């Protein structure tokens, strides 16, 4: 029997094509998506799905070659970001045909970050294309935009997998698709105790929750009313996943020459997003978590749509089978 699904789609560049596979599996299993919230690539795929335009987008991206992608990226020499990507967003805008969030058949929220006020912003009305463009502006990589005087960048800075915006919609299951899992091994929702039986340190997580309330609390309900979030330092649980590694560091070697500065930035962004995701999900865990490994492809591998869609399907099938859905 099909269930009503509230869906949170995470940030992660080209890995976000896996969201398409996840949506395909959910539909094939007879479930109904009743709410979608997305950050960055999750906002792009989620917005297209909510507007009923995902099939057209999928047909386009599955035919892109690496050369096509580089032609679309439009490198930027004027500051603000290395890539304007207006050709890509122009094509997405054509596919969306002026769709408005409030007119979508499925309630949709795109999450962005207001850099000036250091707060999370939820787009729940207005053009889908504008909301998506704000949400995918990866700092230093994709140029940011200004909406109503607010300098907006990638929502993954504060909410890599936005579960909270779906809470207002009645559903049977909350499904989250995270693109920040550990290297091909999966990411724990909560820290686990080292040694012994590896049981979840639920009490330790709960004790941390109030210290990161600004980080894991709800966001804004629109651009104008976005509340500011103050952030405190968080101490890791001793012996838990994500706790600091200890090294004597007797010397060092330079980073490999083939490792581009953009790749270093992307890995740094993914590392930060994985930590934020872990703490936010500890406070508000989904019923079904689909974890896409962060090394499944590079952030800018937008020519690998077919591969990532297939991976998204495989991982979603597995997650639903394990959850009995």
In the chain, count H helices and then E strands: 10, 10
Residue appearing with tokens 């070659």:
65
Whether 154 is a known active-site residue: answer yes
Gap between the Cα atoms of 118 and 122, Å rounded: 13
Distances in whole angstroms, Cα of residue 227 to Cα of each of 27, 42, 74, 115, 153: 35, 22, 34, 13, 16
Gap between the Cα atoms of 19 and 43, Å rounded: 10
Gap between the Cα atoms of 56 and 317, Å rounded: 23
40: left (phi over 0), alpha (psi -120 to 50) or beta: left
Candidate list 135, 154, 270, 291, residue with the active-site label: 154
User: Helix H segments across the chain?
Assistant: 18-28, 41-50, 54-61, 66-72, 86-96, 128-135, 202-209, 213-216, 261-283, 305-323
Whether 207 is a known active-site residue: answer no
Gap between the Cα atoms of 203 and 205, Å rounded: 5
> In degrees rounded to 5, what are phi and psi of residue 185?
-125, -15
Q: Which residues pair with 178 in a beta bridge?
A: 291
The sign one gets for the Cα dihedral 325, 171, 154, 94 is positive
Picking from 127, 145, 147, the residue whose alpha carbon sits closest to that of residue 136 is: 145
> In degrees rounded to 5, what are phi and psi of residue 245?
-85, 145
Residues 6+ apart with CB under 8 A from 156: 10, 11, 12, 39, 40, 113, 138, 269, 273
Candidate list 40, 135, 178, 294, residue with the active-site label: 40
Just list the catalytic residues. Answer: 40, 154
């Amino acid at each position: 029997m099909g269930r009503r699904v509230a869906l949170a789609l995470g940030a992660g560049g080209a890995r976000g094509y896996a969201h398409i596979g996840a949506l395909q599996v959910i539909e094939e299993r007879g479930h109904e998506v009743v709410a979608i919230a997305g950050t960055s690539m999750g906002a792009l795929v989620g917005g297209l799905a909510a507007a009923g335009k995902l099939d057209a987008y999928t047909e386009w991206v599955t035919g892109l070659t690496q050369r096509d992608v580089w032609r679309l990226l439009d490198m930027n020499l004027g500051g603000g970001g290395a890539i304007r990507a207006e050709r890509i967003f122009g094509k997405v805008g054509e596919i969306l045909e002026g769709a408005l969030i409030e007119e979508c058949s499925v309630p949709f929220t795109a999450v962005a970050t207001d850099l000036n006020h250091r707060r999370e912003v939820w787009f729940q009305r207005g053009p889908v294309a504008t909301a998506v463009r704000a949400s995918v502006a990866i700092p230093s990589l994709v140029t940011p935009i200004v909406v109503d005087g607010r300098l907006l960048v990638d929502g993954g800075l504060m909410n890599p997998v936005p579960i909270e915006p779906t809470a207002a919609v009645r559903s049977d299951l909350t499904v989250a698709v995270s693109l920040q899992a550990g290297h091909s091994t999966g990411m724990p929702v909560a820290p686990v105790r080292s040694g012994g039986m590896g049981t979840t340190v639920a009490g330790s997580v709960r004790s941390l929750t109030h210290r990161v309330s600004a980080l894991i609390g709800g966001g804004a309900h629109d651009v104008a009313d976005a509340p500011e979030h103050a952030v405190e330092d968080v101490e890791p649980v001793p012996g838990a996943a994500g706790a600091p590694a200890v090294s004597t560091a007797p010397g060092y070697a330079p980073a490999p020459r083939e490792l581009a500065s953009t790749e270093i930035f992307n890995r740094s962004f993914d590392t930060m997003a994985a930590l934020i995701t872990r703490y936010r999900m500890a406070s508000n865990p989904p019923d079904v978590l689909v974890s896409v490994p962060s090394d499944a492809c590079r952030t800018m591998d937008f020519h690998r749509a077919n591969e990532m869609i297939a991976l998204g399907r495989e991982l979603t099938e597995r997650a639903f089978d394990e959850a009995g859905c």
